[in-house]
Chain A
Amino acid sequence: MKVCVCFVACRLQLPNTDLCPFFPLPLNPLSAFGVLNVGVDACTVCVCSLAVAVCFNCIPLLQQEAQSSEEDPGETLKRTLRAQRQRQKKRVHLRGEHLLQFSHGRTHVIQCSSGGVSPTVLQVDHDGAGKHDVPLAIRTRVKFREAAKRAVKGLPTAEEAYGFFTYNFEPDPKDGTVRMSRKKQKQRKTVEEDMGEADEQEDSEVDEDNQDEKIGQVRMTAILFNKYEIRYRKLIQRESELLFTPSFRTVPVAIKLPENMKPRYLEDEGLYVGERPSVSLTNENILENRILKMEEKWFGDDGRIIALPDPIKESSTRPPLIHMEEDLDPALQTVYKKVRHAHYGLYISSAADPEGDYQLDVDVSGLIFSHHPLFSREHVLGARLAQLYDQYLTRQHNNLTGHLTDKLFLFLYIFLPEHHRNTRQLRDSEQEKDRTLLKNMVKVWKEIKALREFQKFTNTPYKLCLRKENVDRASDKQEYEDEILAEVVELEAESEMDYQRKLAEYKKQLEEWKLWRRKQRKKKKKSQAQGDTEDEDEDQEVSESEGPAEEGPPKPEPLEKPDLDSIEQQVREKASRIRRKPGESILIPELSASGNITAYELCPRAEKARRDHVAKCFLFIKILYNNKEVSQTDSRSLSTDFRVHFGQIFNLKIVNCPQSINLQVFEEIGSSCSLLAQVFVPLPEPSGLTGSVPLEEFEFSSNQRVMFDHEGVGSDVPLSFEADGSNKQILMTSGKLACCVSWGTGEDGTPLAPPYHLKDGISCFVASGGEVTAPEYFRLEQLQQEFDFVTDEELDRSKRLRLLRLRNQEVAEFRNYKCVPALEREVTDEVFQEYEKRLKEGEIIDTKEHLDPHRALVAKYLQKIRESVINRFRLAKHHYHLSDLVIEEEIPSIGILGRNLFKLAEPKRPLKPQRKERKKVTTQNLSDGDIKLLINIIRAYSIPIRRPQSNLCLYFSKPGQSSQGVIQGSDWLLSQVQVRPFVEVSFQRTVLQTTTADGPNPCWNEELQLPFSAPNGDYSTASLQSVKDEVFINIFDEVVYETGVVRKSVHTQVERHWLGSVKIPFSTIYSQTRIDGTFKVNTPAVLLGYSKERSYGTNGGYDILRSLSEGAFITLFITIEPQLVPGESIREKFDTQEPEHLLQASERFERDAVQSHPDRPCITTVIDLNGKTVFITRYIRPLNPPQELLDAFPSNSQEAMALVARFVSLIPSLPDSISFSGACDLWSTCDQFLTLLAGDEEEHAVLLCNYFLSMGKKAWLIIGTAIPEGPTAYVLTFEQSRYVIWNPSSGQYYGQYDTFCPLQTVGCLVNADNVWFNVQQYTSPMRMSFDTTKAKLWKPFFSRSFSHPGLSSVQPEELVYRHIDKAAAAELQDRIEKILKEKIMEWRPRQPTRWNRYCTTTLKHFLPKLELSGGQDIAEGHRHELQNLLGDNRVSQE
């Protein structure tokens, strides 16, 4: 049974025809079933893939029918075969490519593959058809169904068809007779070979290896090599012509470059070649291949694609914007101005006109289309004609040609040839235009007429008449000739002049040429005379060839005389082109619209459709005011001449200021409505009132594309009037809208226009009394002055305003000034007195206040620095952090949580209570009385004890012993009370004292509470930081005298003898929050009547420790209740000259230090007096101390060091926090320090360290904390395998293991080369090692990985000292003495103070000695002398 799928498909698709749609053959007459019996050759006929594809749909059906026809397959087959044979005879040979072979008794269903890769041959044993066909059919049906399913929705594509035909329908392996080649590849190979040969031989193409097998197993009876193969090949071939798949292999360089060129690498030649943008290699290769295919020049000299360097920078190139504000020139700074809406912009002010309504009249008259999609061709021409006519009328009106002709005559008379010629040219061109216009009009009119003729109906009423105006032929001709003659004459004269000029030139050139020629000849003769015959020819050649090379003047061409005849001819030609012929009548065109339009019934169908369409078309106009729709016109139909008349006037009562008036043209066809165009109408001038403004025409156009299937030409569609369709035009919908906008008038004729004036968008208007006055100048903020509160002069003059201003500026005196009076007169001058006084002080140096003028200067300088620093930080102080504003529970970190958990498990130790951290209070909402200073006075050590006064009539007594009088001998020593000390604390006018204790090592353990009040009640952080008050802790000895017994009552007199004091500045307490430690008590060098306890040595064990640092000590604990948050240092970045990497490294170093050891101060960069960040090691440099100090102890270096330390400590100390009112630490260099004569601990330490270094010692700066100073700087020296710590402010020194060393924490060490951070377990100097070479203990800043960059020092090379001015010193001495005397006399104003001159002189003698000894050794001798003196002079006790 054979099935041609194609025919089945054809039958199914076209049931009514007997023709195959793809190949016009009648269907096989043998097809008894109508479906099945199809010849094989028919199959070969229907080769198109579409036909094949269609067939899939019917194959299942086909199979079913095949099944049903199974009853008599033999019969069917026979018929089929017969038919085939008949046809075969005709066709097979005809085609020569099909081989059909039938073995008897067998039927083959041969399926042809269009792919040609693996044609599958199904072999069916026909003998066993009765048994085997059924399963086969079912199986194939299943497979077909799958394919059919895929194709159900429509025709399968070519791919699907291909897939279907290449599908391998494996026969059932059980079916012994149905076999298929197992090795597809082999088979495919076979088939390919078959295709190659395309021959008719049977089996000969089968691969030799498998031939036997094939012949045995596969009885290939027919191999059909069909057209699909060839078609596919062709397709591939065609595709390869069209398609190109770029390879991604690297292209050899040689291909990319022009032939015989070597690649040139600019980079190797040392030129800069930017980095190319990165493109993956594959993509680049593909691109190169593609470009090569396109044969375009895209390759550079190096054989790569030309590319610009990568424009993307890796880092930002913009300058940082962090401190722009400060750095910028004030003139360049941006000033913020608030955006202000111009009032008029929103509403028209009602103040000028209380009635307030303004009326805008919008008159929409109508519109005319110059092109409309519904135009017929005739309309297009008509519109063009109308346009030309309009143009003609305008030109006629202007009469430019006439004017120019007049002008021409004028110039001719006054003889201005230059103007004359120009004007003639102008006139000629105008005349030409006139003529072309006329010609065009006639042409268009002819076209219209031709069109009307052609289409046999008329659409437009236009009619062009040419009115002839006859002229007098003779006179006209005369005129014509005259004019031509005049022009010719003129031109002749011109050309003659030109010729003369050229002739002169020519003659000149000719002369030159002749001269040159002569020279050449001479040369030639010379060379000939030399007789070099051999070279003669050559020579001549050379000279000849040299001729042109020497740029000898070429021989000028002789000139021709100008051809006068040709000029006349030209003129005549031109005249005939642009001018009316002489005697020809003047044509005056007249366009009238009086023609008849063909009636509707007479028109052809397409024209009728167009007219219907026009009749359906309606137009209306929306009026938009300030982009809001306010009204719209009635919808009017489009008339046949494409004009719409509205004639509507809209009166708009407006409130908003007009900004735009927009008319939108809408077209309505049926129910659809579309926007055709928008017309923006300019706003009328205020003077433009209704009635006085004429109608104006505004052109509009639309670029919508419209096409019709009737006579309408559409829009944006090419249109041609030529017969051959050339000269196409594209016409857009366009037209003119006639309307006018004006201001309305009221009933009484008053204009209803708003009284303002618009000027360029940014308006400047001053409305005053309804008049409009525009300033002559333009200003962006023209209203600024109106907002000026008062004039500047008044602002300065008014005391009240000044007060308000000063308060706002937070000037200290007025910061919290309450209730500024409401009236000027109530402000008293006294308010400003203090402030003005301070201002004056700043200017005038008050020498009286200072001990010498130098100090006064320094004070002034400091004041200036202070001001600049305050200004610098004023802004920074107004920066808040979240913690300043919001209280938020902190999330405990895991470490803290763990520690807390661990603590829970810890045993409780009630005997070792620990201080709990108190809650910190910010200073914002505090007031007087809230803050208290808590001072715990715990104990004191080695208070000086009273000395037995054998030779003095003083009574040291105890209440119990008073009656015994003077006690003597050893008895005294035992029973004598050594000392009865108590402590008195005074702070801010509050004085409190402890109880009296006994003995030189008393224990008080008392808490004193002192109230604190901030200056001016200002409890801000800045204010608290600048509190200069100090806490004075004085130790007194209470001595009780018994003055006598009166009436059984004992009268005693209590005397307090001052023993020493400690003073602690409030700023220290504030910044430290608490102070806990043992302080050395400042005791006077000579304490009369007392002796240091040491000399009596009671308890030896204690002595050893104390021997290093003698003196009295007191243990204190001071804090503020409630705990205040100390001011944070200014979070600001400063200018710097340090390299960036150094700063980053230092930042990292400090951050790491804080993270690992938060309690250890670490400083690597500091701020100098100019406010610049400087690396700390730059401050360390050996500097010479004054030579006198070195000379004092040339042999004893230790003494010399002590002396230098004392020298440094004598320089007054001024804490930065006080002088600069913020927590800001400025470091001055040593010379600045010595000039200013004031500085912090750091300056002292730096100076001392530098002195020590210059003395050849090993010295470091210690950055640490000490009591009471808090964070401070000390100096460390290493000498004789012993570390000594120096307190630079006091000049004291301590051994490393000194108990009373005030240095508590060592954070880091600094010298000129490096900074080391303490990473040891302990911070106390006693428990740590100062060996900086050990990296485990000290972390260096500069290490091997980051070496010291060789930072230069900021210090001067050498310090210059001035010699002491003896006279000045003496004067100073006198002054001090005088001041002291005055002060003492001031204290006791009631009694006259008499000075004992002898005593004074004696004391004067002591002073130098005290200084020399350092107040230590000679004390004993002085005491004796003093006591001698006192013995003579009793001090009055009254």
Chain B
Amino acid sequence: MATNNPSMFLLTVNGQIEGANFPEFDNLYCKYCFVYGHDWVPSSGLEEGITQITCKGIQSSHKLIWNFPLETTFKSTNPSGWPQLVMSVYGPDAFGNDVIRGYGATHIPFTPGQHTRTIPMFVPEPSWRLQKFTSWLLGRRPEYTDPKVVAQGEGREVTRVRSQGFVTVSFHIMTKDMKKLGYDTGPSDAWALPK
């Protein structure tokens, strides 16, 4: 396979959705998916998944732990549309309805190596106050038509969101043939030679 003239480069993402910090909520689970551009093809691994429901522990009163592994490989011809990880966290509300607790997205890190990302999460707000009340009452909070919206910039100006919680994700990134195609995303020299 060792071709001298590759036409594609590979990006392998290993890592895990470590956990979340939602001080107000409990019993949450997380759905994730990757959003990528036209030139990207997932070649192995899961593109989307859903974690187990986790409760807060006694010792770590704030932290919700999922430790949900991510393992996906992409191949691509073009760094444009670099994959993003889109997370949406759900959990039951006071009446037991499954409601959205947060949306968030982050780009997969460019540089090979280990990275940890803490992703701030947010939810769409009801458009007016009465709606807020009824949505609370009926347990049907406003949701994005498509969670992938949070990975795009277009059209976001019409929404209003409230931020709540954080999700922590760790990545181990490997790339192949990127340098051969002329994309140097490796760590800079300054980092390579720490003093």
Query: Which residue numbers of A lie inside 8 Å of B, CB to CB?
Result: 804, 807, 816-823, 826, 878-882, 884-889, 891, 922, 924-925
Contacts and interface: CB of A to CB of B under 8 A. Distances in A.
A884 B145 contact: yes
A886 B140 contact: no
Nearest to B178: A822
Interface in B122-137: 124, 126-127, 130-131, 134-135
Interface string B135-165: 1001010111110110000111111000000
B7 A826 contact: yes
B138 A880 contact: no
B144 A887 contact: yes
Given A818-B41, A884-B155, A925-B146, 16 more contacts: A804-B78, A817-B38, A819-B39, A821-B7, A822-B7, A822-B76, A823-B5, A884-B145, A885-B158, A885-B159, A886-B142, A886-B144, A886-B145, A886-B159, A925-B145, A925-B148
B9 interface: yes
Interface in B7-66: 7-9, 38-41
B38 A888 contact: no
Nearest to A922: B145
A891 B38 contact: no
What 4 A-B pairs come out closest when comparing CB atoms? A880-B155, A822-B77, A888-B142, A889-B140
B124 A886 contact: yes
Contacts of A889: 131, 134-135, 138, 140, 142
Instruction: Give the most central of B9, B39, B80: most A CB within 10 Å.
Output: B39
A1026 to B, nearest CB: 21
Contact of A885 (B78, B126, B131, B156): B156
B192 to A, nearest CB: 16
Contact of A818 (B5, B38, B127, B159): B38
Main secondary structure of the interface of A (DSSP, over half): loop
A823 B40 CA distance: 15
Range for the number of chain B residues in contact with chain A: 35 or more
A822 B144 contact: no
Contacts of B138: 889
A888 B9 CA distance: 41
A1354 B152 CA distance: 45
B142 A816 contact: no
Contacts of B159: 882, 885-886
Contacts of B5: 823
Contacts of A816: 38
Contacts of A822: 7-9, 76-78, 181
Contact of B80 (A804, A879, A882, A891): A804
Contacts of A891: 130-131, 134
Contacts of B9: 822
A878 B39 CA distance: 22
B41 A819 contact: yes
Contacts of A924: 145-146
Instruction: Give the most central of B131, B145, B148: most A CB within 10 Å.
Output: B145
Contacts of B146: 924-925
Instruction: Give the most central of A819, A823, A881: most B CB within 10 Å.
Output: A819
Contacts of B156: 885
28 contacts: A804-B78, A804-B80, A818-B38, A819-B40, A819-B78, A820-B39, A820-B77, A822-B8, A822-B78, A822-B181, A823-B181, A879-B155, A880-B158, A882-B158, A882-B159, A885-B144, A885-B158, A885-B159, A886-B142, A886-B145, A887-B143, A888-B126, A888-B127, A889-B138, A889-B140, A891-B131, A925-B146, A925-B148
B117 to A, nearest CB: 24
A887 B77 contact: no
Contact of A887 (B134, B145, B157): B145
A1268 B89 CA distance: 45
A884 B77 contact: no
B131 A823 contact: no
A823 B183 CA distance: 12
A818 B76 CA distance: 10
A708 B29 CA distance: 78
A885 B39 contact: no
A887 to B, nearest CB: 5
B145 to A, nearest CB: 6
Nearest to A884: B155
Instruction: Give the most central of B8, B131, B158: most A CB within 10 Å.
Output: B158
A820 B145 contact: no
Contacts of A922: 145
B154 A880 contact: yes
Instruction: Give the most central of B40, B76, B77, B148: most A CB within 10 Å.
Output: B77
Contacts of B7: 821-823, 826
Contacts of A823: 5, 7, 181
B145 A885 contact: yes
B149 A885 contact: yes
Nearest to A814: B38
Contact of B38 (A820, A821, A826, A880): A820
Given A822-B7, A887-B142, A882 B127 contact: yes
Interface in B65-93: 76-78, 80
Contacts of A888: 124, 126-127, 131, 135, 142
Contacts of B134: 889, 891
Contacts of B145: 884-887, 922, 924-925
Contacts of B142: 886-889
B143 A886 contact: yes
A819 B42 CA distance: 12
Contacts of B131: 888-889, 891
B130 to A, nearest CB: 6
Contacts of B127: 882, 888
Contacts of B80: 804
Contacts of A887: 142-145
A819 B38 contact: yes
Nearest to B79: A822
A527 to B, nearest CB: 99
Contacts of A880: 154-155, 157-158
A819 B38 CA distance: 6
Contacts of B148: 925
Contacts of B39: 818-820
A885 B146 CA distance: 7
B78 A884 contact: no
A885 B38 contact: no
Contacts of B76: 819, 822
Nearest to A880: B155
A645 to B, nearest CB: 44
A1410 B144 CA distance: 60
A880 B146 CA distance: 14
Nearest to B148: A925
B37 to A, nearest CB: 9
Contacts of A826: 7
Nearest to A921: B145
A742 B62 CA distance: 57
Contact of B77 (A819, A879, A885, A886): A819
A924 B155 CA distance: 13
A818 B75 CA distance: 12
Contact of A807 (B38, B124, B130): B38
B143 to A, nearest CB: 5
A1274 B155 CA distance: 39
Contacts of B126: 888
Nearest to B154: A878
A818 B80 CA distance: 12
Contacts of A804: 78, 80
A849 B189 CA distance: 63
Contacts of B124: 885-886, 888
A889 B138 CA distance: 9
Nearest to B131: A891
Contacts of B157: 880
Nearest to A881: B158
Contacts of A819: 38-41, 76-78
Nearest to A818: B38
A108 B130 CA distance: 81
